[in-house]
């Protein structure tokens, strides 16, 4: 039996989420390249292992070797890395076409050797690769919908990672996610600062502030205070 909420193991973030991500829902981490999405998602995966859950992590952006030498070296991965079912996926949309629910479920389930029902936590990093592979917004939206239906049907708690464009709206994944965590690099008076905010979380009242964080060998560490927007800049306030 999994704990009621799927925690990140990052106290301040878990508090902001009302305890963690809700079970059997699809959730999203979104942000530009290099902000820390993969590190955050892998912290959530490692926390699942520590809770005794079955954890699978689909990676489209990294090879097995670079994954192990990159994510395997963070302190939070100690004793967890080898217990995660890492799936290195090279998407070929021809396998999925015609894009019917049956086709999608067949291809996707085969990644888990048919055992998706046994998975408790699943990370999909990143769905932007799927978007690029389809190069068609209607097909991409449809694939996301099939993915989310399959997660709900299989009682899987999913965290998907999506690359945000430099300018303009995020992609489609936000619409079907129950929780959206946005990571960004803010322009502040003396340079730049990493900060995250919750854009939405169903069933939970949550802060809207930008919370500063840093990335260390221990992963993402949330800091004190918050950033508030003042004209075009974000100013720091303590407490
Ligand atoms: N061991 C580390 N210590 C400090 N910062 C790190 C470390 N490893 C990676 N980073 C920072 O994390 C960034 C990449 O984070 P990642 O989660 O891979 O980004 P993305 O959002 O593209 O998935 C790097 O650009 C670097 O700034
Ligand atoms: Mg990444």
Residue nearest atom 24 in ligand 1 by C-alpha distance? 34
Cα(184) to ligand 2 centroid in Å equals 13
The pLDDT, as a whole number, for residue 177 is: 97
Average pLDDT for 216-221:
98
Helix ranges restricted to H, the chain = 11-16, 37-50, 64-70, 101-111, 127-134, 137-153
Residue nearest atom 26 in ligand 1 by C-alpha distance? 34
Of ligand 1's listed atoms, the one at least distance from the Cα of 37 is 21
Confidence of residue 230 (pLDDT cuts 50, 70, 90): confident
Mutate to test the pocket of ligand 1, among 8, 33, 36 (most ligand atoms within 8 A of CB): 36
Q: 213 pLDDT exceeds 90?
A: yes
Question: Both tokens of residue 141?
Answer: 């939206």
Residue nearest atom 20 in ligand 1 by C-alpha distance? 34
Confidence of residue 58 (pLDDT cuts 50, 70, 90): very high
The pLDDT, as a whole number, for residue 222 is: 98
Q: DSSP string of 13-60? A: HHHHTTSSEETT-EEEEEE-TTSSHHHHHHHHHHHHHHTT--EEEEES
Residues with CB under 6 A from ligand 1: 31, 33-39, 215-217
Under 8 Å between Cβ of 198 and 190: no
Query: What is the distance between the terminal CA atoms of the chain, rounded to a whole angstrom?
Result: 37
The pLDDT, as a whole number, for residue 74 is: 98
pLDDT one-digit tens code per residue, 13-51 = 999 999 999 999 999 999 999 999 999 999 999 999 999
Average pLDDT for 42-64:
97
Cα(75) to ligand 1 centroid in Å equals 14
Residue nearest atom 25 in ligand 1 by C-alpha distance? 34
C-alpha distances (whole Å) from 23 to each of 54, 60, 121, 161 are 14, 24, 9, 17
Q: What is the percent of the chain where pLDDT is above 70? A: 100
Rounded to whole angstroms, how far apart are CA atoms 9 and 80? Answer: 13
Length of the chain: 239
Cα(65) to ligand 2 centroid in Å equals 15
Average pLDDT for 193-197:
98
Average pLDDT for 222-236:
89
pLDDT one-digit tens code per residue, 137-159 = 999 999 999 999 999 999 999 99
Of ligand 1's listed atoms, the one at least distance from the Cα of 32 is 21
Measured in whole angstroms, the distance separating CA 70 from the mean position of its chain's CA atoms is 17
Half-sphere exposure of 141 (CA within 13 A, CB side): 8
Average pLDDT for 103-127:
94
Q: 229 pLDDT exceeds 90?
A: no
Indicate which ligand has the atom closest to the C-alpha of 126. Answer: 2
Cβ count within 10 A of residue 224: 10
The pLDDT, as a whole number, for residue 98 is: 96
Which residues form the domain of 22? 5-237
- Residue 52 sits in a domain of what CATH number? 3.40.50.300
Radius of gyration, alpha carbons of the chain: 18
User: Which region, left, alpha or beta, applies to residue 136 given φ > 0 means left and ψ of -120 to 50 means alpha?
Assistant: beta
Residue nearest atom 16 in ligand 1 by C-alpha distance? 36
Number of domains the chain is built from = 1
Q: 113 pLDDT exceeds 90?
A: no
Q: 1 pLDDT exceeds 90?
A: no
Average pLDDT for 223-232:
90
Cα(102) to ligand 1 centroid in Å equals 37
Q: 61 pLDDT exceeds 80?
A: yes
């Amino acid at each position: 039996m999994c704990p009621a909420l799927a925690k990140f193991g990052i106290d301040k973030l878990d508090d902001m989420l009302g305890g963690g991500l809700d079970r059997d829902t699809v959730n999203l981490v979104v942000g530009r390249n290099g902000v820390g999405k993969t590190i955050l998602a892998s912290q959530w995966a490692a926390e699942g292992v520590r809770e005794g859950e079955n954890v699978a992590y689909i990676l489209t952006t990294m090879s097995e070797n670079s994954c192990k030498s990159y994510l395997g070296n963070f302190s939070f991965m100690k004793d967890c890395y080898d217990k995660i079912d890492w799936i290195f996926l090279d998407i070929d949309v021809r396998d999925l076409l015609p894009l019917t629910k049956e086709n999608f479920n067949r291809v996707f389930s085969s990644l888990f050797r048919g055992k998706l029902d046994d998975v408790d936590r699943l990370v999909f990093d990143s769905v932007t690769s799927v978007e690029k592979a389809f190069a068609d917004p209607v097909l991409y939206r449809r694939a996301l919908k099939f993915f989310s239906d399959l997660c709900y049907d299989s009682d899987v708690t999913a965290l998907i990672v999506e690359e945000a464009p430099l300018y303009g709206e995020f992609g489609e994944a936000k619409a079907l996610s129950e929780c959206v965590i946005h990571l960004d690099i803010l322009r502040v008076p003396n340079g730049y600062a990493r900060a995250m905010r919750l854009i939405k979380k169903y069933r939970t009242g949550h802060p809207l502030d930008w919370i500063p964080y840093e990335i260390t060998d221990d992963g993402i560490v949330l800091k004190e205070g918050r950033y508030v927007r003042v004209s075009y800049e974000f100013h720091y306030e303590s407490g």
